[in-house]
Structures are given as C-alpha cells and as structure tokens.
Amino acid sequence: MNYFVVLVVILVPFGTCIDLPSGFKKCNMKKIDFNQCLGSAIHEAVRKLDSAITSHDLQSLYHVQFRPQDVMEFGNRSLSGLKQKFSNLSFLGLSRPEKTVARLDYENNTYTLTVSLTYRDILFQANYECAGTIVMLPLNAMTPVEVLMVNPTLTYIFKLEPYYKGTTYLRVLDATADGRTQGLRWNFKQLFENKHLNEEFNAAMTEKGAEIFTLYKFLESSFTPYFAFLLDSFLSKVSVAELFDGF
C-alpha cells in the first residue's frame, strides 16, 4: 500500500464533511454532458489554486515544492556511466492549464477518474548532482537546473473507491501519471566551469528535448503519490453528494 493511502486511512475517520469551496462548479452525474461539465469544473478548480484554499487544506498548485527527502536518483558510476540525482524539487505553473479534459467511469464498485491538463509551459526546478563519465569526459558536478516543459500535457488516472462514513465518500486506491511535451528547454546553471561549454551543452540538450524527455519518463512515478495524496485529502472532507448532483 502506498504511503498516501496509509495516511488517508489514518486521517479519514476523524474528518468532517464540508461543502465544496466557494465558486467550485458542481456537475450532475445523470446528465449526458457530465464528463464535459467535469472537465470544466476541474479546470476552474485548478485555476483557483493559484493560491491555497486553507478551509479545505488545498495547497497552491502554482509553486509546488516537494519535501527535502523527495529525491530522484538513477544511473551508476561504472565505466562510461553517470550517477544522477535531483533534489529540492519544485514545479511552477501547475495551476494554469490552458485546457482540461476529464471523464469518470464506474465498474465493479470502483470509479476511474482520468484528467488531462494541457499547459503553455511548466517550469521544473531542482538541484542536480552527477558523478561519472559522459562521452568519455569525467564529470563530477553540483548545480541548480531549470527545465521548461513546452506545451506539455499531463494525464492522471485515479482509481477511486466509495466508502460510507455517515454518507458516501471516495478515496484513492491507486494513481498513475503520463506526460507528453513538445520540447524541453534545459538550463544547467553551472554544470561545467567553462561558460561556453555549459551554454553549448544546454543548447544541445534543448535541441533534443523531446527525445530526452522519453528517457526521463520513468520519473513520473516519483510525483504521482504527491498529487494522489492531495486529492485524497480533499475527498476525505467533501462527500460525493457535495461533489456531484444526481448521485
């Protein structure tokens, strides 16, 4: 069981049902345009999270900062190998999608919520450390890095289970994520001491940005529990009857 599920199981019994945040759109599950309404409702809700909504423990999605212990490490220092580590992870711009598409499916007492958000850009920031060899060049460096995702689409799939606690709520059983982007603009601040080499390396990485993104896609699983826990926390406070009409 993932850690966010464990936390929700602990916290839910002590929760209290509250209304939807002011201005959040409510959709009717029995209407034929429900999924269209759902996409619009989620889009508007995410846009409102430029700032936190403290009444519902909803954190701002504009500048998402992960915990210090949340790091991404991969690779090795063997011959022609490179060990890499990203730490102090953060995203800027997740609260500003240009387009949102969503659907909610039901089968075998489980709901599947699929949400795709398309952005103009998202900025990823981190501290980057590496040790090993790159194209036969020994490399041992530590530097801030920024990666601008160009026209990305982020898709989340949440498996939700209804449960009863005075009224019906939903909780997250599992979550997966998938990302697509037209390109990546890399900016390692000081990977190499030689400024010209550093600029040329960033340019070469940016030129191959879409291809490089496919190599890093496995890292999506590092972020999924964070967003799943945010959704779980919200769903533990707002009942299905408050979320939707026609339930």
CB 160 within 8 A of CB 183: no
Torsion sign over Cα 240, 62, 149, 128: negative
The pTM of the full predicted model, rounded to 2 decimals, is: 0.85
Candidates 189, 190, 114; CA nearest to 156 is 114
Measured between alpha carbons, how far is residue 185 from residues 94, 110, 170, 199, 205 in Å? 17, 39, 39, 12, 8
Strands 244-245 vs 183-188: parallel, antiparallel or unpaired? unpaired
Q: 232-245 in b/e burial notation, b at 16+ Cβ within 10 A?
A: bbbbbbbbbebbbe
CB 15 within 8 A of CB 236: yes
Fold of 34-242: Bactericidal permeability-increasing protein; domain 1 (3.15.10)
pLDDT of the residue at 136? 67
Q: Which amino acid is at 34?
A: F
pLDDT of the residue at 3? 39
CB 94 within 8 A of CB 122: yes
Domain boundaries, the chain: 34-242
Q: Which residues of the chain have pLDDT under 50?
A: 1-15
Measured between alpha carbons, how far is residue 213 from residues 91, 179, 198 in Å? 16, 9, 20
pLDDT of the residue at 16? 59
